[in-house]
Amino acid sequence: MDATLFDLDGTLIDSFLDIARSANHARSVVGLSPLPEKVIYGYVGEGAQRLIERTVGPDRPELVPAALAAWREHYEAHCLDTTRPYPGIVEALEKLPGPKALVTNKPGPAARKVVEALGLSRFLPVIVGGGDVANRKPDPEGCRLALSQLPKVERVVFVGDSVVDAQTAANGGYGFVGVLWGMGTRETLSACGAKAFAESAEELPAACAAARLT
């Protein structure tokens, strides 16, 4: 039996605007002016702590605790304002065989709230988020925890959009599918060893099958 592990932000859901708006709210709380949302998009993928550290900037580390608290409070209230699954994701999840789980650096409570609200929990009964394990991706600890809660599997494919995801797959010894509608490009993901890609959600089942053969 084969299992598929998924990243969340930039892979299954387009959540960048809500994340960026909450990050700029956090900046305002600590007296900083807003950043362009596209700049903040580049800070997503390594968990809330790292997001806020990068959003605040390296010269004001003393502002990070208050900014992080402000981000968490704001994002809890606004994480579903504009966030939606990418087109075709639900249909792709329906077609993909075998057990599935979610492994994300997004804080676990927020990940579970979003997945449930968007109707994706029926495909992803196991969700491991930031704070659920000691080490965030690219450490594969979260993947191992997720797999321990699934039926025993022989092969694993990790589906993600970022260099962090590609490194996670490599560190865990899993196949990898790079999706090209999120943060990463074919070039950046190829440089991390990715050989299977999906340019649209419709291509995911075939890309996952290809990744299992590599």
Residues assigned a catalytic role = 7
> CA angle, corner 85, sides to 94 and 107, nearest 5?
105
Q: Tell me the two tokens of residue 122.
A: 């029926």
Torsion sign over Cα 67, 104, 178, 175: positive
Q: Give SS3 for 125.
A: coil
Q: Tell me the two tokens of residue 206.
A: 């075939």
Q: What is the spatial distance between Cα 161 and Cα 186, in angstroms, rounded to a whole number?
A: 10
SS3 letters across 87-115: CCHHHHHHHCCCCEEEEEEEEHHHHHHHH
